[in-house]
Structure 1
Amino acid sequence: MARRTGPARICVTNAKGGTGKTTVAINVAGALSERGRDVLFVDLDPQGNATEGLGLLEEYDAAPPTLFDVLTDGDQRDRMADLVIEHPEMDVVPSNIDMLQAERELTIADLVARATEGEVDVDPAALSALAVNVAPDTVAGGHALDTLDDALGAVEDDYDYVVVDSPPFYGKLTDTGIYATRNILVPALTEATSERAIELLIDQMSALEAQTGITVETLGVVANRVETTGEDETMLEWFEAVFADDPVWEVRKRVALQRAFSAGQSIFAYDPSVDMADVFLSIAADLDRQFDYAEVPA
């Protein structure tokens, strides 16, 4: 069972592009909401796909402070509540065009942390001069991956779940999302190229655990856009073998999921009669079980 001392945190992640990661994240969050859970959705992807898929595209061009500032400026770490936008299904912390600079900024912050600890022979002040917001006095410890973790502390008590949609690449920004949640839900396509992507994901989790001393739990795999081919069947068997201790859910390819995305909604607000809605409800029910949410609110 996933450990929970407060609201449950989940990072939906897979660095392989085209897996439907954001669609899975939105519909899992929508299913949790459908079960009566209060959900905060955080779009950590600089491309802002989830922000668009929740109908909040204007927020992507909003003026500062933005999620970029909260993640990279220690003096604004407590302003997460100012970024929360109400959506009919869930609250949302949108991405922003400024997030395109976040990977570079967090990389510098991590180097500043290591320099401050004496791990690298570089003047931390010289490194911070290359950054927009990072300063040596705002970075503590041997890494700088705790910024989202700290920022969520100011808002998460209002929620049962925090669902983070990670970028579709490995780097400091993705590591920041996983560090904050300690729990991952993995969307994957039922095609042979997913094998390498899953192997890289496992390696990345091991490296992050070794660097930071945390433990990352896998909550399950969402086999996405499944069709009735031999390759799909073979990959489903492979997922079941590799993730023998974790649930594997099958989401069939449905055009309604893309239409819901275009409408700025989960499938539950768009058309709950679509058969895949039941699969996402099953995912939500299993997450409730894993996080020891025993009762569904009335």
Structure 2
Amino acid sequence: MPARLAVSNQKGGVGKTTVAINVAGALNARGRDVLFVDLDPQGNASEGLGLREAYDAAPPSLFDVLTDAESRGAIADLVHEHPAMDVIPSNIDMTAAEPELTLSRRGGEQLALALDHVEDDYDYVIVDCPPHLGYLTDNALHATGNVLIPALAESTSKRALELLFDHVEALELDYDITVRERGLVANRVETTNEAREMMAWFEDAFPDIPVWEVRKRVALQRAFSDGVSLFEYEEPVDMAEEFLAIAADLDEQFGFGSAAATTASGVEASR
């Protein structure tokens, strides 16, 4: 079984997709085979991985896989190759997925059932969630049992995290499962008093999980626009080291051994 990880925060604008793509890229840089699933109907990750055309492709799509039991096996045909990972892109039809899953008898379990058809060749499955709580996010959390939380270093994150944890608790009770928090990524951190105060709050509020700091860098958006993670981007970026640290910690949490990892400068280092 590969390690499965959902990247989720119901608050929009936290750079969730950028975090998901670069964590996946860092895991690949450490020698891991990664399957990336874009579960967001907006398809931001699909675009950020250079798969804009796949988002507009005709059926079957991820929508069909999630809403039609007979189409689950078609998920293998949706996999696209990318320099750093394999990708199952979102699709414009996913905008209709929430009401369809609401009516489904096992609406929160469809992604877990579909992944059984494709995951054997991977070390990690990374699922990028929508920026809201609903059946698609339920599918990601149920399928993975693990969550990585991107958040902004600002006071509005407190309420968003509270809502996420309340939702996870309800999901655990409904499905009799456990969802583990694997870390919090403070994203787009700037040099302000509020950011410093929030970083201290994160550390105090989450003493049992890693808290990482990804500082605001224009290159993160440029790499996204180029359809790659920082690890395929043409220029070195210092924040690549932080994403490698996240990947190294995840490897340790999920029981992977050490691997040759590419640093931001392109030099291999044993971690």
Using the alignment, how far apart are the partners of 1:146 and 1:296 within structure 2? 33
Establish whether residue 203 from structure 1 lines up as the match of residue 198 from structure 2. no
- Measure the CA separation in 2 of the matches of 1:271 and 1:208: 42
- Gapped regions of structure 2 (runs ≥ 5): 262-271
The residue correspondences of 1:1-298 to structure 2 (distance < 5 A) are 6-109=1-104, 113=105, 143-271=106-234, 273-296=236-259
Q: Equivalent residue for 1:3?
A: none
Q: CA deviation at 1:150?
A: 0.8
For the residues of structure 2 that align with 1:104 and 1:144, how far apart are their CA atoms?
10
Separation in 2 of the partners of 1:297 and 1:254? 26
Amino acid at match of 1:53: G
CA distance in 1, matches of 2:45, 2:162: 26
Distance 2:123 2:192 in 1: 38
Contact 1:21 1:187 in 2 (8 A): yes
Gap change, CA 1:196 and 1:292, over 3 Å in 2: same
Larger Rg: 1
Note if contact 1:60-1:96 (Cα within 8 Å) is conserved in structure 2: yes
2-structure distance, mates of 1:83, 1:37: 21
Aligned partners of 2:207 and 2:100: how far apart in 1?
Answer: 38
Mapped to 1, the partners of 2:44 and 2:115 lie a distance apart of: 21
Question: How far 1:108 sits from its partner (Å)?
Answer: 1.1
CA deviation string 1:194-240 (max 9, x = no partner): 00001001101100001000000000000001111110011111111
Amino acid at match of 1:181: T
Supply the distance in 1 between the matched residues of 2:234 and 2:201 (Cα, whole angstroms). 32
| SS of residue paired to 1:40 | strand
Q: What is the TM-score normalised by the length of structure 1?
A: 0.86
Deviation at 1:297, TM superposition (A): 5.9
User: 43-52 or 238-247: which moved more?
Assistant: 238-247
Deviation string 1:126-148 (CA, Å, 9 cap, x unpaired) is xxxxxxxxxxxxxxxxx421110
- The unaligned stretches of length 5 or more in structure 1 are 1-5, 114-142
Matches of 2:148 and 2:167, distance apart in 1 = 14
- State how many pairs are aligned: 261
Instruction: Tell me the SS of whatever aligns to 1:99.
Output: helix
Structure 1 CA distance for aligned equivalents of residues 236 and 95 of structure 2: 37
Q: Distance in 2 between matches of 1:297 and 1:291?
A: 17
1:295 aligned partner, one-letter code? S
After TM superposition, which residue ranges in structure 1, 4 or more long, deviate above 3 angstroms? none
1:37–1:297 Cα contact (<8 Å) kept: no
Measured on the aligned residues, the alpha-carbon RMSD in Å equals: 1.0
Q: 2: distance between equivalents of 1:192 and 1:155?
A: 40
**What CA distance in whole angstroms lies between the structure 1 residues aligned with 2:165 and 2:196?**
22
